[in-house]
Amino acid sequence: MVSRRAVVAGAVGASVAAAGGAVGYRAWRDREPASPPVHDSEGRLLWRNWSGIQSAYPSERAAPDSEDALVGVLKSAPHPIRPVGAGHSFTALVPTGGTLLTLDRMSGVIDHDGAKLHATVRAGTRLGDLGPALAAIGQEMPNLPDINKQSLGGALGTGTHGTGRAFKAMHGEVTAFRIATPRGDVIACDRTTNADVFHAARVNLGAFGVISEVTIQNRPLKRVLKRTTGRQLGEVIEEWPSLISQHRNVEFYAIPFTGLAALITVDETDKPVSPRGPDTDADAVMELKALRDVAGFLPAVRRGLAQSAFKDLPPDEAVDEGWKLLSNERPVRFNEMEYHLPLERQMVALREVIAAIEKHRADVFFPIEARVIDGDDAWLSPFHDRVCGSIAVHAYYKDDYSFLFDLVEPILRRHGGRPHWGKLHSLKYADFATLYPRFRDAVAVREMLDPEGRMLNDHLRTVFHNG
């Protein structure tokens, strides 16, 4: 181990010396992106999303504490009325000069059915709080996203997902919900009651009204073994079809310019609890950045250093309840594009994406995430009627992310991908009408629930209005 560290240290040090003239450039590139003013000229407070690329100055901020209060806001507050969860969407779902609406005061588990393994939860509940709350009643959501800061309503509304061949995205396990509308009513729906609303608004972009509470089909709380293994990228890509059938949850991160991958598997186990150690992902990402900074102009050195550092590295294992292991802290901010492709196209597209980045964008260092998600029947679900393999490409929040649109998106679209609603994409109404067989039906339901368009901001008009 010591010798490996020495190899990396020596090589990086040599590269730093050789690249001394670039230090000034690197410092310039590492500057913090400028923030808009805290207040605008009218004294309104700034809102920005998690990554910092979306911003607005809402004229009002509403935090209702009941369904009645929520209806009151939707009926009469200045519009556009835009619900916000944790602000993790990269697309412009939230920006508004009207009303910014948070459900932070409408959170917690309301009821549960131990026999059916159902739990009814207020939509403002943060996923990080939902895990322990469900564990307390012997239940779990077996498929959680990579980050758990989001609100339940925001996660469902954008089609947020985890990974696992046998698992649907989070909205796929919703059995019923109540949605408050700008018309001033509250609609309870499930597969038999107000079924059109149920199918159209399970994934809703916060554009149909606001879901106040949700009933989720959960599973019995399980202990799982999470294993993270450094592997050769080519091997993991070849094994992917068998990996997704062998493991309960499985994903991998392809690390561009290294030929390496981090394979993460999660399986149920009876082993004794062995809690996860301190999270070192952020350090790992910043070391990838350091490698980019000093060896980005020397691809062979960059790859050689990474390969040397990985040699004989043992797997990392943790055993605990799933909600403690499936999600991660992500203190290094980034921008992201993710598309969901027909599973059989996923690895072909991934190879093309990696090749394109390695040919054209030596500045990219963030790992590329590959996951698998079962299909469902929500009309606006990116997983509608098909099993999907997802590809998520990231850019450090201080870095240029235009390559996501110029280089990556054309590949993902060519392979039949549908974009994550909360992640960067350039698609419009006509594109969605082609990609989603029930898109126009969903649009009709949205217009029935919000006939005056009180929920629509500029971005959402490009999604739901033709032309």
Residues forming the site for other proteins (CB under 8 A): 1-2, 4-5, 8-9, 32, 35-36, 38, 45-50, 52, 55, 61-63, 84, 86-87, 100, 102, 104-105, 107, 126, 128, 149, 226, 228-230, 253, 255, 260, 262, 264, 276-285, 287-288, 290-291, 306, 309-310, 313-316, 328-329, 331-333, 367, 369
Looking at the Cβ atoms of 33 and 410, the one nearer to other proteins is 33
C-beta of 7: minimal distance to other proteins in Å?
A: 9
By CB neighbour count within 10 A (0-12 exposed, 13-18 middle, 19+ buried), where does 128 fall?
middle
- Nearest Cα neighbor of 337 from 355, 323, 357 is 357
Looking at the Cβ atoms of 76 and 307, the one nearer to other proteins is 307
C-beta of 57: minimal distance to other proteins in Å?
A: 11
- Nearest Cα neighbor of 19 from 255, 398, 292, 288 is 292
Type of residue numbered 115: A
Tell me the β-bridge partners of 58. none
Looking at the Cβ atoms of 291 and 445, the one nearer to other proteins is 291
Looking at the Cβ atoms of 217 and 328, the one nearer to other proteins is 328
Looking at the Cβ atoms of 280 and 466, the one nearer to other proteins is 280
List, as one string, the DSSP characters of 220-278.
E--EEEEEEEEEEHHHHHHHHHHHHHH-SEEEEEEETTTTEEEEEEEEE--SPPB----
C-beta of 463: minimal distance to other proteins in Å?
A: 22
C-beta of 280: minimal distance to other proteins in Å?
A: 4
By the 8 A CB rule, do 145 and 225 touch?
A: no
Looking at the Cβ atoms of 219 and 333, the one nearer to other proteins is 333
Helix, strand, coil shares, percent, the chain, to 5: 35, 25, 40
Vertex 187, ends 98 and 85: CA angle to 5°?
40
For residue 6, what are the contacts with CB-CB under 8 A and spacing of at least 6?
none
C-beta of 171: minimal distance to other proteins in Å?
A: 22
Looking at the Cβ atoms of 102 and 204, the one nearer to other proteins is 102
List, as one string, the DSSP characters of 7-74.
HHHHHHHHHHHHTGGGHHHHHHHTSPPPPPPSB-TT-PBPEE-SSSS-EE--SEEE--SSHHHHHHHH
Neighbouring C-beta atoms of residue 259, cutoff 10 Å? 17
Tell me the β-bridge partners of 272. none
Looking at the Cβ atoms of 170 and 260, the one nearer to other proteins is 260
C-beta of 347: minimal distance to other proteins in Å?
A: 19
By CB neighbour count within 10 A (0-12 exposed, 13-18 middle, 19+ buried), where does 424 fall?
buried
For residue 393, what are the contacts with CB-CB under 8 A and spacing of at least 6?
336, 337, 338, 353, 357, 366, 368, 404, 408
- Dist. CA 390–CA 234, nearest whole Å: 18
Looking at the Cβ atoms of 151 and 194, the one nearer to other proteins is 151
Looking at the Cβ atoms of 328 and 426, the one nearer to other proteins is 328
Looking at the Cβ atoms of 255 and 341, the one nearer to other proteins is 255
C-beta of 70: minimal distance to other proteins in Å?
A: 13
C-beta of 257: minimal distance to other proteins in Å?
A: 13
Strands 334-342, 219-220: pairing kind: unpaired
C-beta of 416: minimal distance to other proteins in Å?
A: 27
* Three-class secondary structure of residue 327 per DSSP: coil
Token pair for residue 29? 């590139």
- Dist. CA 447–CA 128, nearest whole Å: 33
C-beta of 128: minimal distance to other proteins in Å?
A: 6
C-beta of 392: minimal distance to other proteins in Å?
A: 11
